Amino acid sequence: MRGTRSRTRRGFLRGLGLGAAWLLAAPWRARAATPPPVTPRIEVPKDPAAAIKSVIGDAKPTKGKVALDMPYITETGTSVSVAVKVDSPMTEADHVTAIHLFADGNPVPRVASYQLGPRAGRAEVATRIRLARSQRVIAIAQMSDGRFWSDTREINVAQGACVDDTEGTLGSGSRSPL
């Protein structure tokens, strides 16, 4: 393994909370391969319900099987840890094919889609996301039997004092896009 180290880079990675074990492995300098043709950007509707529909069609997910773990409160929303676990045997016969994440108060309401299969072993992902304001995050699991399951979590962005949060989707009586 090879790659260059720099003090600030180490500091940055330590700052990510990845722990000392990561520092034992030399970092890979990510190599740029020959660029393939630029794939067209996936367009996301601005309306959260439409954004969800653009992914799962008219399907109505059932609440359950999905556990979305994230804090209830964040100060700025610039980096919120999110973990999604889906209850599934992940066998050939019965597995999660995709996990979709949405944020109903973001300018682009779609956050990510993860494609899985039996080789994943566990239908679990963890990542960090940005949230523009207090809102709901929705995780939808798409199963091999064609069914959809979901979990929704509210999160409050408690920023500052002088920034008004009344445009946020929480507390303004807005309905969940699901």
User: What is the footprint of another protein within residues 21-50 (CB under 8 A)?
Assistant: 21-22, 25, 27-33, 35-39, 41-42, 44
Smallest separation, CB 48 to another protein (Å)? 12
- Minimum CB distance to another protein smaller for 145 or for 166: 166
- Minimum CB distance to another protein smaller for 61 or for 84: 84
**Binders of another protein in range 66-85 (CB under 8 A):** 71-79
Residues with Cβ within 8 Å of residue 48, at least 6 apart in sequence: 102, 103, 104, 105, 109, 177
Please tell me whether residue 142 binds another protein under the rule CB under 8 A. Answer: no
Judge whether 169 and 104 are in contact, CB under 8 Å. Answer: yes
Fill in the per-residue mask, 83 to 122: x = in contact with another protein (CB under 8 A), - = not in contact.
Answer: --------------------x--xxx-xxxxxxxxxxxxx
Considering only 62, 63, 126, 176, the residue that binds another protein (CB under 8 A) is 126
Q: How far apart are alpha carbons 139 and 157 in whole angstroms?
A: 19
Judge whether 81 and 130 are in contact, CB under 8 Å. Answer: no
Please tell me whether residue 163 binds another protein under the rule CB under 8 A. Answer: yes
Considering only 88, 97, 142, 156, the residue that binds another protein (CB under 8 A) is 156
DSSP string, 122-141: S-EEEEEE--SSSEEEEEEE
State whether the Cα torsion 31-36-37-38 is positive or negative. Answer: negative
